[in-house]
Amino acid sequence: MNSEQLSTLIVDALDDIKAHDIVKLDVRDMTTVTDYMIVASGTSSRHVQALVENVAEKVKAAGYKPIGIEGEEGGEWVLLDLQDALVHVMLPKVREFYNLEKLWSLGSPGDVAVTDG
């Protein structure tokens, strides 16, 4: 599975349990750290945690092992590192404050995919 297929699997896993405002950013031309950054919102801390857990389960089933998960205890912003893709799931107020989409799409606005959930 290549990084593009992985990013699609992540978006589908987020959509499965009703993530809001899913954005997939292609950051290959901006960093060597990862290929894709996926940002989504949850409706509560528990929903944010459930979204990340669902993504982790789906990617493990596909043969990917998460490198790390940060922020699970608070649930306001959880980061799932899959090396080829970084998944940020946040509460809307946290997402609005940090505005990662704007930060990471400065160089390539044509590479942003948005889905409503």
Task: Name the nearest CA neighbour of 88 among 97, 63, 64.
Answer: 97
At the fourth CATH level, the homologous superfamily of domain 3-115 is Beta Polymerase, domain 2 (3.30.460.10)
Residue 71 one-letter amino acid: G
pLDDT at 114 over 70: no
Task: Name the nearest CA neighbour of 57 among 20, 12, 99.
Answer: 12
Domain ranges of the chain: 3-115
Looking at residue 22, what is its pLDDT? 95
Looking at residue 75, what is its pLDDT? 84
N-to-C CA span, the chain:
25
Instruction: Tell me the pTM.
Output: 0.85
pLDDT at 89 over 50: yes
Looking at residue 116, what is its pLDDT? 52
Separation CA 93–CA 109 (nearest Å): 23
Instruction: Write down the mean pLDDT value for the chain.
Output: 87
Looking at residue 112, what is its pLDDT? 46
Looking at residue 106, what is its pLDDT? 59
Looking at residue 46, what is its pLDDT? 95
Looking at residue 110, what is its pLDDT? 44
Higher-pLDDT residue of 30, 25 = 25
Average pLDDT over residues 37-57: 96
